Structure 1
Amino acid sequence: MSTTVHPTSVIEAGAALHDGVYVGPFCHVGANVELGAGTRLISHASVRGTTKLGSDCVLRPYAAIGGVPQVLGAEESPDSRLEIGDKCVFHENSTVHTGWPKTGGLTKVGVNCLVMVGAHIAHDCQIGSNVVMATNASLAGHVHVGDNVWFGGLAAVHQFSRIGRNALIGGGAIVVEDVIPFGSVIGNHAKLAGLNTVGLKRRGFSKADLHQIRAAYRAVFKGEGLFKDRLASAATAFEGQALAMELIDFIREGGDRPICKPG
């Protein structure tokens, strides 16, 4: 399959375009960019920096991928990198920045992610697979997002926050604390509103799975006594139950980081 580049686009010397890449009108591809097989830049899209896109990605008009981190004094550098997996779609005016070398240097996005109009992924974020970011959702630097997380429109996440897999971030939520796996958060500032039950059912979690997750959730967030004591008791009670321990271990691994709790 041949590669197609519209004559109005600029492909800098050094860029690597694999088989079947399509670059439409008025696009710009930088010298240190690699576009995977079958990736399509529809029009007016920009890919810069030391950036690697997987196969079959789509960049809609005015998507800007691989920009310099929004950090005072940051400049383009080969140590400032971005890696994006296969089959990711970036809609109009969405942005993803490369990492900042002083704090890791790598922004990474998994496979099959959908980034809608105006959404932003900042430097050094680590995004899992099958993540959906609705219109104008924004992630600050160093945010870690697990697989299958959905962000509603206008949601915003504070830097260094962690969001566990299969979580749901409600539209307009302002997240300043870590969000447990399977959780659903809403509001400004966001509070834990329960579990993302609908999303878990859609992804094939069984009734037994949901029962285990609910039991762990109740033990940690709704029991008697101090939160740290409930967490320790739950770790003992649910030992060997993988989904329950995923929720419990996520909290414990955060150390002193605040965790988003029910209002």
Structure 2
Amino acid sequence: MSIHPTAIVHPGARIAEGVQIGAYSVIGEHVEIGEGSSIGPHVVVEGHTRIGRNNRIFQFCSIGSEPQDKKYAAEPTRLEIGDGNTIREFCSFSTGTVQDGGLTRVGNDNWIMAYVHVAHDCMVGNNTIFANNATLAGHVSVGDWAILGGFTGVHQFVRVGAHSFCGVGTVLLQDLPPFVTVSGNPASPHGINSEGLKRRGYSSDGIMAIKRAYKTLYRSGLPLAEARAQIAEAAQAAPELQLFSDFIADSGRGIVR
């Protein structure tokens, strides 16, 4: 371990080998930090927070703070951060609330830029990118490989599908299906994230099937129920569509359309 002499680390904190903690950082009693992670200067890690291996948390972040929820009554809710994440300056991650599962979770290998806020009870997958000032309200879920452009705002309880892409300044008030690219306030669809899918190894046939499903949903003029039924039928022959089909079938808030 390498702990700067000005850092304040509670004796009850569990700090693994190879962890670096910078000047003036504060580590609370119920914090666990995994091997190889680095905590920059002036970082506060508090609450019941578990940080995995090989994370880099830069200066002035607030990790594991109380949720910004007026119903919160000091219950011992949690924050879990996986492995290999980069969390840049001035980010704030809150613990969960008992009104949900009591847990906020961030997965593995996420690239999170400055001033990002992850509110209580959010569930963030793996390999996502959050550009500067992206903000998640409470109870939001974000699928693997999703990209949120700078100043994206996501309303509470909204789901962001895997491999989706939000342009700069997007405001999401409804669920964003997997693979779809959106922008605007409120968000409107602008095709699929075909370039991202190519980079992640999707075949040409798979991408074409997703494009056809997108046209069924957004350009055919069909009522939503009929579009869902056609996409579910197409997914039987194109496994790449199953994620898309399941997501739009399960949407509780309605989808961006």
Shorter-chain TM range is over 0.9
Asked whether the equivalents of residues 144 and 162 of structure 1 are also in contact (C-alpha less than 8 Å), the reply is yes
Q: Pairwise CA RMSD of aligned residues?
A: 1.2
Question: Structure 2 counterpart of 1:41, which letter?
Answer: I
Q: Secondary structure at the match of 2:241?
A: helix
Q: Secondary structure at the match of 2:99?
A: helix
Residue 226 of structure 2 aligns with which residue? 229
Residue 84 of structure 1 aligns with which residue? 81
Distance in 1 between the 2:42 and 2:221 partners?
57
Deviations 1:3-51 (A, max 9, x none): 1111101111210000100111000000000000011012111111000
Q: Secondary structure at the match of 2:227?
A: helix
Q: How far apart are 1:224 and its partner, in Å? A: 4.1
Q: How far apart are 1:253 and its partner, in Å? A: 1.1
Asked whether the equivalents of residues 216 and 222 of structure 2 are also in contact (C-alpha less than 8 Å), the reply is no
Q: What stretches of structure 2 of length at least 5 have no aligned partner?
A: none
Counterparts in 2 of 1:219 and 1:41: CA distance versus 1, 3 Å = same
Asked whether the equivalents of residues 50 and 77 of structure 1 are also in contact (C-alpha less than 8 Å), the reply is no
Q: How many residues align?
A: 257
Residue 26 of structure 1 aligns with which residue? 24
Is 1:144 aligned to residue 144 of structure 2? no
Q: What stretches of structure 1 of length at least 5 have no aligned partner?
A: none
Pairing partner for 1:51 from 28, 49, 52: 49
Q: How far apart are 1:202 and its partner, in Å? A: 1.7
Distance in 2 between the 1:92 and 1:21 partners?
18
Residue 40 of structure 1 aligns with which residue? 38
Q: How far apart are 1:75 and its partner, in Å? A: 4.4
Pairing partner for 2:59 from 61, 77, 80: 61
Q: Which stretches of structure 1, 4 residues or more, deviate above 6 A after TM superposition?
A: none
Over the matched positions of the two proteins, sequence identity in percent amounts to 37
Residue 14 of structure 2 aligns with which residue? 16
Is 1:163 aligned to residue 160 of structure 2? yes
Question: Structure 2 counterpart of 1:260, which letter?
Answer: V
Residue 2 of structure 2 aligns with which residue? 4
Q: Report 1:65-214 matches (<5 A).
A: 65-78=63-76, 80-214=77-211
